[in-house]
Amino acid sequence: QVLLVESGGGSVQAGDSLRLSCTASGDTICISTLGSMGWYRQAAGKERELVATSSSGGITNYADSVKGRFTISRDLAKNTVSLQMNSLNPEDTAVYYCYANVGYGGRYYAHHGVCARYYGMDYWGKGAPVTVHS
């Protein structure tokens, strides 16, 4: 089992900054060595969309709308992922969800015995609301 808990949401003015953090607990070795962690967001009346992700190998991916303004960072040892959001605008208003995914290790993977049950699974936090006022 993997549990994700977000913190850091809030209400700010346009141009301000916010930092979101997410901590994973449970069988986190399966995420830190195989999977990605990151952030998605869902605005009212819209579908959930990717904001940024970071793989266990350090590869990051950003939505075009946040490139240059948001920075994702991940601490594999602490099982945390953070999102520094700068130059916020009202279009960034949404509920931000922490996300984690376990990849596939195969039977020769060192932690196969623990992680096989999680291969390919996605996990979500409960969400952190962010409101940006114009």
CA distance 82 to 43: 20
pLDDT-based confidence at residue 38 (cuts at 50, 70, 90)? very high
Q: What is the pLDDT of residue 67?
A: 98
CA distance 134 to 16: 11
* Residue (of 128, 134, 132) closest to 11 by Cα position: 132
Q: Please work out, in degrees rounded to the nearest 5, the angle formed at the alpha carbon of residue 15 by the alpha carbons of 14 and 19.
A: 100
Q: What is the pLDDT of residue 41?
A: 98
Q: How many CB atoms lie within 10 A of CB 123?
A: 19
Q: What is the pLDDT of residue 107?
A: 87
Answer whether residue 46 shows pLDDT above 90: yes
pLDDT-based confidence at residue 116 (cuts at 50, 70, 90)? very high
